[in-house]
Amino acid sequence: MQDFLNDEEVEKLIIRINKDLKDILSEKRYNHSIGVMKKAEELAKIHDENINKAKLVGLAHDIGKELSENEMIQYTKENNIEVDEIEKINIGLLHAKIGADICSKKYGFSIDMQNAIKYHTVGNLNMDLLSKIIFVADKIEDGRNYKDEDKSKDLKLAREIAITNIDEALLFEIDCSIKYTIQKGKLIHPDSILIRNKLLINKNK
């Protein structure tokens, strides 16, 4: 996306993406996308990130989420998207890479915006502030709630941390994700481990 897009042009693009999402996402997923957009905007204001980019990425981050597994596999083949060993087993993870590719080609998202979508599920060693905001916003948007008491407590704490320290919030959410992934007996993507270790090292410097 060209950085010279003004607020009016951004709002027009938001309307366009919003219309596309209504056509392809379930009501629940669409509402989540709106929630992430609002939370990303809020966090961008707090942490001095580009608000327009945060809104656009927050809205579009799950654009590939509800493709079937067969559609995801086909899309990666047709668009030369690299699939790692974990993604071959947990195909749903591919929605992040696919979403980034769609938004690049369809809406002209810049590299940092593409990366924020690409990294929003498992994290990445090279996350910048925008990527961190989208990752956290995805986990704490106001529409999220859990019946499980432990998850509900984690969500409340994450929302509090995100206001003051985005790195701490990211680390907390990655820890929670790893914990619940282990409880489910599923594979942990190595990118989650790498960014977790980086955050811990920086924290202890």
pLDDT, tens only, 45-72:
999 999 999 999 999 999 999 999 999 9
Distance from C-alpha of 51 to C-alpha of 73, rounded to nearest angstrom:
33
Q: Which helix (H) or strand (E) holds 33?
A: helix 27-47
Model confidence at 139: pLDDT above 80: yes
Entry pTM? 0.96
pLDDT given for residue 153 in this prediction: 95
Going from the C-alpha of 59 to that of each of 18, 47, 100, 111, 175, the distances in angstroms are 8, 19, 12, 17, 25
Model confidence at 204: pLDDT above 90: no
Tell me the average pLDDT across 135-151. 94
Taking only the tens place, the pLDDT of each residue in 192-202 is: 999 999 999 99
Taking only the tens place, the pLDDT of each residue in 1-22 is: 555 578 888 999 999 999 999 9
147 neighbors 155 (Cβ within 8 angstroms): no
Going by C-alpha positions, the residue among 132, 112, 121, 117 that lies closest to residue 202 is 132
Confidence of residue 164 (pLDDT cuts 50, 70, 90): very high
pLDDT given for residue 17 in this prediction: 98
Average pLDDT across the chain, whole number: 95
Query: Which residues, at least 6 apart from 93, have a Cβ–Cβ distance to it below 8 Å?
Result: 86, 87, 121, 122, 189
The domains found in the chain, sorted by start residue, are: 7-203 (1.10.3210.10)
